[in-house]
Chain A
Amino acid sequence: MVYVVSLIAGLLFGVGMVISGMVLPDKVLAFLDIAGEWDMSLAFVMGGALGVFAPCYWWLIKPRGKAINDQAVNANSNLQVDSRLIIGASLFGIGWGVAGICPGPAFASLSAMNPGLLIFIAFMLVGFLLAPVINRQIK
């Protein structure tokens, strides 16, 4: 069942990324450019996502305490706001602001096989691999 759920959830996520416009870097950058001609429509993506997820979590998932496959809900293991969180989020913010691409849209757009996107994803994977090395330097 876990695999069927992954398939359905993955499909929904990919479709949602395209329908919402999150895959379009121009739109993402116009959303982030608050000093320019601000396009606030992507705020509605997060609004729509939280509008569905938050009630599902608080009314369905949290009261159950565990998932339907009996696994513990894999969340909330770390509660500390630490320097790794801030440094990581800041590095991600710079990368996101430079190109207007974050991990979700990168995978949802992969079928176009654009060489620029392939380069982005390849270096993102390099970043995943290098992160533990930098992590050790951060107290």
Chain B
Amino acid sequence: MEIPWLALLGGALLGASASLLLLFSGQVAGISGIASRLLRRTQADKAWRIIFLAAMVLGGAVAANTLNLAIPTEYDAPYWLLAIAGLLVGLGTAIGNGCTSGHGICGMGRGSVRSIVATGTFMLVAALTVFIIRHLL
């Protein structure tokens, strides 16, 4: 089997980012949490969240342009489906307190039972969803 080095390296960078943020600022690098708390009127610490998200957009652009790697310029799903997917992702991550980064990396890395259960659940449900769409419909 060939080892997907880029996937491994990219993952290591995500892990390094999450470690830096927790070690220096005491904050969890969960993207849904960082973004959703920006919308709360009572949230006090918005500046670091805005900087983090803006830097993420910039980092993605820099990586795509300098390393000759792709960020998607088009998506297969039609607009109405992207709207439904976005709504479900927003609702689900806010109700379940986390996404692939917050639960999948930071929570599981800390050995949090909540995060292990959440990650197992969304992985399983996502795989089932893909199975239904690709093999049953």
Contact = CB atoms under 8 A, between A and B. Distances in A.
Interface of B: 3-4, 6-29, 31-32, 35-36, 39, 47-49, 51-64, 67, 69-77, 79, 81-97, 99-101, 103-110, 112-114, 117-119, 121-131, 133-135
Interface of A: 1-3, 5-26, 29, 32-36, 41-42, 44-54, 56-57, 60-62, 64, 66-69, 71-76, 78-81, 84-99, 101-104, 107-112, 114-117, 119-132, 134-135, 138
Given A18-B71, A74-B27, A33 B122 contact: no
26 contacts: A14-B56, A18-B64, A18-B70, A44-B8, A47-B11, A48-B8, A48-B10, A48-B13, A57-B22, A60-B23, A67-B26, A73-B22, A76-B110, A80-B114, A86-B121, A91-B96, A92-B99, A93-B92, A93-B124, A94-B92, A103-B93, A109-B71, A110-B57, A128-B36, A131-B94, A134-B91
Contacts of A22: 10
Contacts of B16: 12, 16, 52-53
A112 B76 CA distance: 15
A53 B60 contact: no
A3 to B, nearest CB: 5
A12 B16 CA distance: 8
A50 B105 contact: yes
A24 B19 CA distance: 24
A88 B57 CA distance: 26
A41 B7 contact: yes
Given A107-B53, A108-B56, A111-B61, A47 B95 contact: no
Nearest to B74: A114
